[in-house]
Structure 1
Amino acid sequence: MTYKTILAILDTPQNARQISDFGVAVASQFSAHLIGCHAETLSAMPLIAPMEIPDPAAIQVLQEVAQKETAEVKRVFELHAEGKGVPTEWRSFLSAAGYSSNPFMESARAADLIIASQSDPSHSDHRADLETFLFDSGRPLLLVPHAMTQLQPIRRVMIAWNGSREAARATFDSLPFLQAAESVEILVVDPPERSNQTYLPAGAEIANSLSRHGVNASVTNHESSGGSPAAVIEARLSGKDVDLLVMGGYGHSRWWEMIFGGVTRNILDSMTALTLLSR
């Protein structure tokens, strides 16, 4: 397994350079085709009071601003991909649904890997619908912390493992990164008690499976001691200098609620390492 079609979501001019560089680097690593993609969202229609009719002048200004942003994002993408030996393609979509539009989803669901920037709510042009798109795409998502300016080689990977379907999906979706990594740790927080019929400790079976793919993974079982699994994961990330966190995107499951308080934006706001999510 490898990544051969990579979709880079160039959300804004602010993150276009970062994601273009990350996309080119990952595409180069796996000899993949890189697609730069931008959604130009139609703005809400301004009205003229008291008759509440559309204001043509205001609509034109908003359209021109959106078109200018799209042109700038495209320019940045092409500039940073030029001369890097990576086959590239540019796509932009105009839709009131933004990243949830059908044409955009078709592109996303045909990709092996999606790369996007961590949400940065401090920017006034932060896209409120981006997280919805990410978790509806059905594809593995490599999220880049907005404070990270340069991609370092992914040598150390940590898998947050709880035995769920989502965790399994994320683990196997990340195989190209796992196979190229120098070390892989499978972290199990508060492992469940094992029945008499279960002869392997928590995390051991997935480690054995990964070993057949050439991945030498270690297993760490960690008790939260009354704290939250999120705190354990964050401590391991900061203490072990992890390059990539792999975990499932759990929607509204109990595990997701335990780690992220049920709010998707919270995980994106607190990211400190590259994070690959699958659902």
Structure 2
Amino acid sequence: MPYKTILVILDTPDNARVAVDFAAAFAREHGAHIVGLHTEIVSAVPLVAPMEIPDPVAVQALQDMAHNQAIDIERLFRAKMERENLAYEWRNFASTVGYGSEPLMESARSADLLVAVQPDPAKSSDSHVDVESFLFESGRPVLLIPYIFTEPKPIRRVLIAWNGSKEAARATFDALPFLTTADSVEIFSVDTSNSLTHSPKETGAEIAATLARHGVRARLETAACGGKTPSQVIENRLADDSIDLLVMGAYTHSWLWQLIFGGTTRTLLQSMTAMTLLAR
């Protein structure tokens, strides 16, 4: 079944246009209702030395800046929705703790799919979306768009990072609307010493059979590490096969979670080449 409610997280002006364009493209394809979500964040409180008391003028200036930014993002969002004649609504929240606040999670839990743009590591901002909070607290899949993307692209080639875990299963089934319309779907398993009781080939064959009953003809591929980390093996596969969408589970303490958020693999995050659907 298609996605019918898509929540797009509009954190910064730099990311908003791309996020809105992608969400609009998905909404047209799936006949979905779009929820635009933004939060006004003032996290830093300027102090007046030496007494270390808040400077009300500086605090107000930060609040005004955050509010004006929200107005600009809302204007961009509404203009796009009206031009495309899409069903939509706008939700704006004020927060001192960022995107992990409960009102935002409540909004996210009612959506089929969350869409966000990957934060640019070179542009630090308190307003950047907290993807980790949405993954762990909303219970909904997050589609992360690489910050290097400038315009929507169709999802034709999909790679499922499969290891037989519950997180991988959740991500796979959450991605079904994309899988059923893709031209090519590959179930890709990396054979490591940490493999589950059954081999990657066995567990991959079972999920491939299940997907086939949904009309998804997926091929099964496995690869050994061969001196590389699993994340490097997947990265190479994405590039070699010109993958449009990577589907993967979000793991708390594993190489797949490190692939997205780990400090030692930050360079991989910066060179992200495919949209990534994450679920937990």
Same-fold call, TM cutoff 0.5: yes
Q: For residue 123 of structure 1, report the CA deviation from its aligned partner.
A: 1.3
**By how many angstroms is 1:68 displaced?**
0.8
Q: CA RMSD in A?
A: 2.2
CA contact (8 A) 1:169 1:278 kept: yes
- Could you say which residue in structure 2 is the equivalent of 1:18? 18
Q: Determine the structure 2 residue equivalent to 1:125.
A: 125
- The residue that corresponds to 1:112 in the other structure is 112
Residue 261 of structure 1, CA deviation: 7.8
Distance in 2, Cα, partners of 1:146 & 1:260: 13
The Cα of 1:93 is off from its aligned counterpart by 0.5
Q: Please show how residues 128-207 of structure 1 align to structure 2 within 5 Å.
A: 130-136=130-136, 137-190=138-191, 192=195, 201-207=202-208
TM-score w.r.t. structure 2 length?
A: 0.91
Structure 1: runs of 5+ lacking an equivalent: none
Tell me: CA distance 1:114–1:183, structure 2 relative to 1, closer, same or farther (3 Å).
same
The residue aligned with 1:7 is: 7
For 2:66 and 2:154, the matched residues in 1 are separated by: 35
Answer yes or no: is the 8 Å Cα contact 2:12–2:128 preserved in 1. Answer: no
AA at the equivalent of 1:118: Q
Instruction: State the Cα deviation string for residues 234-272 of structure 1 (Å, max 9, x = none).
Output: 111111111111011111246545x56844983643311
Cα gap change, 1:11/1:264 in structure 2, threshold over 3 Å: closer, same or farther?
A: farther
Contact 2:185 2:217 in 1 (8 A): yes
Secondary structure of 1:203's counterpart equals: helix
2:260 & 2:57 partners in 1: Cα distance? 44
Give 1:133 shift: 2.1
For the 8 Å contact 1:120–1:126, the answer to whether it is kept is no
Distance in 2 (CA, whole Å) between partners of 1:55 and 1:261 is 35
Asked whether the 8 Å contact 1:166–1:248 carries over to 2, the reply is: yes
- Give the Cα–Cα distance (whole angstroms) in 2 for the partners of residues 264 and 6 of structure 1: 32
Flag the 1:172–1:103 CA change in 2: closer, same or farther, 3 A: same
- Relative to structure 1, the CA distance from residue 146 to residue 128 in structure 2 (aligned partners, 3 Å threshold; closer, same or farther) is closer
Output one character per residue of 1:104-152: Cα deviation in whole Å (capped at 9) or x when no partner: 1101111110000011121142646613323222210100011111212
- C-alpha change, 1:29 and 1:165, in structure 2 (3 Å) is same
Q: Is the 8 A contact 1:141 1:278 kept in 2?
A: yes
Q: Whole-Å Cα distance in 1 between the matches of residues 41 and 260 of structure 2?
A: 29
- Following the alignment from structure 2 to structure 1, what is the Cα–Cα distance between the partners of residues 60 and 260? 41
CA contact (8 A) 2:187 2:220 kept: yes
Cα gap change, 1:101 to 1:204, in 2 (>3 Å): same
1:1-279 equivalences in 2 (<5 Å): 1-125=1-125, 127=127, 130-136=130-136, 137-190=138-191, 192=195, 201-253=202-254, 256-257=257-258, 259=259, 262-263=262-263, 266=266, 268-279=269-280
Where 1:83 maps in the other structure, the secondary structure is helix
- Cα displacement (A) at 1:42: 2.4
- 1:135, 1:193 → 2: CA distance? 24
Aligned residue for 2:152, secondary structure, equals coil
Distance, in Å, in 2 between the alignment partners of 1:76 and 1:10 is 10
User: Does the 8 Å CA contact 2:9/2:129 hold for their aligned counterparts?
Assistant: no
CA distance in 2, matches of 1:249, 1:58: 39
Q: Secondary structure at the match of 1:158?
A: strand
Q: Please report how far the alpha carbon of residue 193 of structure 1 lies from its aligned counterpart in structure 2 after TM superposition.
A: 8.4
Q: Distance in 2 between matches of 1:179 and 1:34?
A: 21
Is the CA contact (8 Å cut-off) linking 1:27 and 1:33 kept in structure 2? yes
SS at match of 1:103: helix
Summarize deviations over 1:54-82 as a string: whole Å, max 9, x none.
21211111111111111111111112222
> CA offsets per residue over residues 20-42 of structure 1, 9 Å max, x none?
00011101111111011111112
Paired residues of 1:37 and 1:90 also in contact (CA < 8 A): yes
Aligned positions, number: 275
Q: Partners in 2 of 1:55 and 1:193 — Cα distance?
A: 56
Superposed displacement of residue 53, structure 1: 2.3
